[in-house]
Structure 1
């Protein structure tokens, strides 16, 4: 199997092995991807392990894979997964016959890892890192709701235009600038206005007549 000593071949072998191993982690493929990935990577290590390179590199690789699995299912913050990726790359590169070969198998690992995400478009997901996704969504929703509440509290408040409205522009309310619209009416700068309604971040204002200003 001297052809496996060619760096470009090592790149392809590691790419395919990683593609299927990570694919097994990401999607439900009834174990098929896992078997293919294990077979390909066993083929890689069986060729490159020599007396100078002990079985410890395989253990390093497997520990890295285990860390990625733990991160995806339990921790879901990506920190442990990054450590696992580093260990797997080291485990692949150390037994390689040259520096160029090691760099290429590292690249093959990364390409295969990212490429495995394409399986998500075809196969049902295993929901790895689902906690991270849920946490990000909740944080985004909280931020959006907080902004909505702030904007809704502007209804009935008064301010002044800080740019001309044609019919959109900027208005200052309680010292803060906001983008707003005056509907079908054009307004000049420094006009006194009142917030009539708010929809999301859409603010509708109307000009306050001088009599209303005096009454206020």
Structure 2
């Protein structure tokens, strides 16, 4: 890359500045591009000038934040076009309760009435969505129900408060258009025993009710059974109206995938780990690119889904700048703390659910810490910390010798030039040496032998103790 030619990799401050510049430039550019694409997409859609159109909106996916965002756009268009009816084509195994509640409120409060066409299945959260519509039309062989609350692994939640709350929500949605709320309770409360006369069978404790199209029609949970959307429109008496299909754009489809909890957590892990590794280890390369790309995708998905605004991006970029500044400006942790708060705030405010975002951040931080630790151990010789450690050595290989080696002196004899009390001087074949004894006194002119050499310390003893004075 050209960055290497500029020798940015040799300067941690410049390398971090390049990272920040890329984030600051790329994020707004990508967000503006996606907004422009969405605007262009809006201009190409047919609009009924006289009003009275039927908007056909497909919801054939998991109930989650991305679907909620798409349906908000679709209903907004329908209202602005004075549409006569929204036919919501529903085919889902369910999903998030909070998203289902948001979609249910959207359907209830819309000025344009909704007819749900169940194409296959509308179970769990999908049932709640359908119950908020004015009409429910089901395809032969389709099902509705099984709306008990489950956790992320699909296991039933047996918390009485949670069951009571969700059962109440389902029953109230059923009452909106005169449907028997007992069936909604039977679809939700696993512990209830409910008599269901219309379909000729009862719901026992431990079971969850699911209705076929035929049973739903008998119970009043389906107003009609039709083979297709066109048959549904004909049953509504709207076959002569302009039909405007609304489908998710490519950006909304991508955003729906990017805002799923698993992908969000993965992007945060890669983003945190990638940028941390790039800042701690010299050489702008793959980790930095992956980190920047991960955060760009995170904010792109949440921006297109309608959750993130420019303030979220600014908070995040400010957080990164403050964290990097902490590496070079002594602030006793103030800049680092403010940076961490700003970064977390940017991610949380960009998310559909603050609690889920905090959990994702916690998991991502722990995982990223492990990744960075492993990489730092493996490439410790390349870390930024080496900039602050003096590693130059004056080695023998480079021609430096601190003290000459005197191990060869052991066993040689000499004559004391001065009394050793216990230190003194010895003549060794014409060379004067400073020596010590083991603590004994040795007079001058006495023959001694070198017994130990420890660096510059030379230890001697008398060769003939009888001469000791």
TM-score (norm 1): 0.53
Q: 1:15·1:112 contact (CA, 8 Å) conserved in 2?
A: yes
Higher relative contact order (CA 8 A, sep 6+): 1
Using the TM superposition, give the Cα deviation of residue 32 of structure 1 relative to its aligned residue in structure 2, in angstroms.
2.3
* Alignment pair present for 1:30 and 2:284: yes
**1:138 paired residue number:** none
Cα distance change of structure 1 residues 78 and 118 upon mapping to structure 2, 3 Å threshold: farther
Distance in structure 2 (CA, Å) of the matches to 1:45 and 1:20? 16
Does residue 385 of structure 2 align to residue 127 of structure 1? yes
2:368 and 2:323 mapped to 1: Cα distance? 12
* Native 8 Å contact 2:266 2:364 kept in 1: no
Which residue of structure 2 aligns with residue 212 of structure 1?
none
Match of 1:39 in 2: 293
Does residue 104 in structure 1 map to residue 362 in structure 2? no
Distance in 2 of aligned mates of 1:28 and 1:130: 14
Q: Which residues in structure 2 correspond to 1:80-119 (within 5 Å)?
A: 80-115=335-370, 116-119=372-375
* Cα distance in 1, alignment partners of residues 348 and 385 from structure 2: 30
C-alpha distance in 2, partners of 1:27/1:112? 18
CA distance in 1, matches of 2:295, 2:337: 20
Question: Alpha carbons of 1:84 and 1:109: their partners in 2 closer, same or farther (altered >3 Å)?
Answer: farther
Aligned mates of 1:128, 1:10 — CA distance in 2? 34
Structure whose CA Rg is larger = 2
Q: Does 1:48 align with 2:302?
A: yes
Instruction: Spell out the pairing of 1:1-216 with structure 2 (5 A cutoff).
Output: 1=254, 2-50=256-304, 53-75=308-330, 77-115=332-370, 116-123=372-379, 124-127=382-385
Give how far 1:129 is off.
Answer: 10
The 2-side partners of 1:66 and 1:78 are apart by 14
Shift of 1:16: 1.2
Q: Could you say if the C-alpha distance between residues 66 and 26 of structure 1 is closer, same or farther in structure 2, counting changes exceeding 3 Å?
A: same
The 1-side partners of 2:260 and 2:283 are apart by 31
Structure 1 regions of 5+ residues with no counterpart? 132-216
Q: Which runs of 5+ in 2 are unaligned?
A: 1-253, 390-469
CA offsets 1:121-147 (integer angstroms, 9 cap, x no match): 12211129969xxxxxxxxxxxxxxxx
C-alpha RMSD of the superposition: 2.5
| Deviation of 1:109 (Å) | 4.2
CA 1:103–1:113: 2 relative to 1, 3 Å: same
Runs of 4+ in 1 over 4 A off after TM superposition: 128-131
CA distance in 1, matches of 2:288, 2:341: 20
Measure, in 2, the Cα distance between the counterparts of 1:39 and 1:85.
20
What is the TM-score when the length of structure 2 is the normalising length?
A: 0.26
Cα separation, 1, equivalents of 2:283 and 2:375: 9
Contact 1:7–1:104 (8 Å) recurs in 2: no
Query: What residue number does 1:186 align with?
Result: none
